[in-house]
Structure 1
Amino acid sequence: MTEEPRYLGSGTVHVDTRSLTGAPPSHLPPRLAISLWDFSWYTRAEAGGPYADLDAACARAAGLGYNAVRICAAPLLLHGGLGLEALAEDLVIEGLGTAPDGGIYGRGTRWYDVPGGYRINLRTRLLDLFEAAARHGLVVILASWEYQQSPAFAESPEWFEAIDAVPLEDRYRALADAWDRLIGEVSDAGHRDRIALVELHNEVDFSILPPLANGSSEVERLRSLHPDLLITASYGKPPHVAMHTLPEGLGAAQFHVYSYGVLDALQQQIDIRSEGSGGFPNRALRALLKPGAPSVAEYGRLPEWKYRATVVTGQMLYGYDWLDPDAWDTWLYNEYGPYREVMRREIESRVTAIAAWARWKDVPAVVGEGWIGYTPLLGTFEEGPVGRELAEHGIRTALEHGVWGMVLCSNAAPHHPLWADEDWQRRMNHLIRTAPVT
Structure 2
Amino acid sequence: MTERYLGSGTVATGTTGLTGATPAHLPERLAITLWDFSWYTRAGDGEPYADLDSACADAASLGYNAIRICAAPLLLFGALGLDDLAASLRIEGLGPAPDGGYFGRRTRWYDAPGGYELDLRERLLALFTAAARHGLVVILASWELQQSPAFAASPRWFEAIDAIPLGDRYRVLSHAWERMIDWLTDEGHRERIALVELHNEVDFSILPALADGGAHEVQRLRARHPDLLITASYGKPPHLAMHQVPEGLGAAQFHVYSYGVLDALQQRIDIRSEGTGGFPNAALRRLLRPDAPTFEQYGRAAGWKYRATVVTDQMIYGYDWIDPAAWDAWLDEHYGPYEHVMRREIESRVIAVAEWARWHGIPALVGEGWVGYTPLHGTFEEGETGRALAEHGVTTALEHGVWGVVLSSNAAPHHPMWQLREWQSAQNRRITGSTPS
Q: Distance in 1 between matches of 2:3 and 2:423?
A: 42
Cα deviation for residue 14 of structure 1 reads: 2.0
- Normalised to the residue count of structure 1, the TM-score between the two structures is 0.99
State the one-letter code of the partner of 1:421. L
Q: Distance in 1 between matches of 2:430 and 2:205?
A: 33
Q: Distance in 2 between matches of 1:328 and 1:422?
A: 24
Q: How does 1:230-249 map to 2 (within 5 A)?
A: 230-249=229-248
Deviations 1:84-124 (A, max 9, x none): 00111100000000111111100111110001000000000
Q: Distance in 1 between matches of 2:292 and 2:126?
A: 42
Cα deviation for residue 4 of structure 1 reads: 4.2
Cα deviation for residue 400 of structure 1 reads: 0.6
The aligned residue for residue 48 of structure 2 is 50
Cα deviation for residue 11 of structure 1 reads: 2.5
Residue 370 of structure 1 aligns to a residue whose secondary structure is coil
Residue 366 of structure 1 aligns to a residue whose secondary structure is strand
Is contact 1:152-1:306 (8 Å) kept?
yes
Residue 48 of structure 2 aligns to a residue whose secondary structure is coil
Q: How does 1:318-329 map to 2 (within 5 A)?
A: 318-329=317-328
State the one-letter code of the partner of 1:231. I
Q: Distance in 1 between matches of 2:341 and 2:322?
A: 27
The aligned residue for residue 226 of structure 2 is 227
State the one-letter code of the partner of 2:436. V
State the one-letter code of the partner of 2:193. I
Residue 115 of structure 1 aligns to a residue whose secondary structure is coil
Identity %: 73
Give 5+ residue unaligned stretches, structure 1.
Answer: none
Residue 254 of structure 2 aligns to a residue whose secondary structure is strand
The aligned residue for residue 331 of structure 2 is 332
Cα deviation for residue 301 of structure 1 reads: 1.1
The aligned residue for residue 314 of structure 1 is 313
Cα deviation for residue 396 of structure 1 reads: 0.2
The aligned residue for residue 203 of structure 1 is 201
State the one-letter code of the partner of 2:229. L
Q: Distance in 1 between matches of 2:350 and 2:49?
A: 31
Is contact 1:200-1:232 (8 Å) kept?
yes
State the one-letter code of the partner of 2:282. R
Correspondence 1:93 to 2:91: yes
Q: Distance in 2 between matches of 1:220 and 1:246?
A: 14
Is contact 1:104-1:115 (8 Å) kept?
yes
Q: Distance in 2 between matches of 1:324 and 1:213?
A: 42
Q: Distance in 2 between matches of 1:388 and 1:5?
A: 41
Task: Choose which of 76, 98, 101 in structure 1 pairs with 2:74.
Answer: 76
The aligned residue for residue 305 of structure 1 is 304
Q: Distance in 2 between matches of 1:115 and 1:4?
A: 71
Cα deviation for residue 10 of structure 1 reads: 2.1
State the one-letter code of the partner of 1:89. A
State the one-letter code of the partner of 2:78. G
The aligned residue for residue 418 of structure 1 is 417
Count of aligned positions:
436
Deviations 1:156-185 (A, max 9, x none): 000000011000000000000000000011
Once superposed, what is the RMSD of the aligned Cα atoms? 0.6
Cα deviation for residue 418 of structure 1 reads: 0.5
Give 5+ residue unaligned stretches, structure 2.
Answer: none
State the one-letter code of the partner of 1:366. L
Q: How does 1:241-390 map to 2 (within 5 A)?
A: 241-390=240-389
State the one-letter code of the partner of 2:346. I
The aligned residue for residue 33 of structure 1 is 31
- Normalised to the residue count of structure 2, the TM-score between the two structures is 0.99
State the one-letter code of the partner of 1:325. P
Q: Distance in 1 between matches of 2:299 and 2:313?
A: 10
State the one-letter code of the partner of 2:336. G
State the one-letter code of the partner of 1:254. Q
Correspondence 1:155 to 2:145: no
Q: Distance in 2 between matches of 1:89 and 1:223?
A: 29
Correspondence 1:182 to 2:157: no
Q: Distance in 2 between matches of 1:404 and 1:323?
A: 37
The aligned residue for residue 426 of structure 2 is 427
Task: Choose which of 15, 18, 23 in structure 2 pairs with 1:17.
Answer: 15
Cα deviation for residue 9 of structure 1 reads: 1.8
Task: Choose which of 131, 134, 139 in structure 2 pairs with 1:133.
Answer: 131
The aligned residue for residue 404 of structure 2 is 405
Correspondence 1:169 to 2:167: yes
Cα deviation for residue 251 of structure 1 reads: 0.3
Task: Choose which of 53, 60, 63 in structure 1 pairs with 2:61.
Answer: 63
Q: Distance in 2 between matches of 1:9 and 1:136?
A: 52
Is contact 1:18-1:399 (8 Å) kept?
no
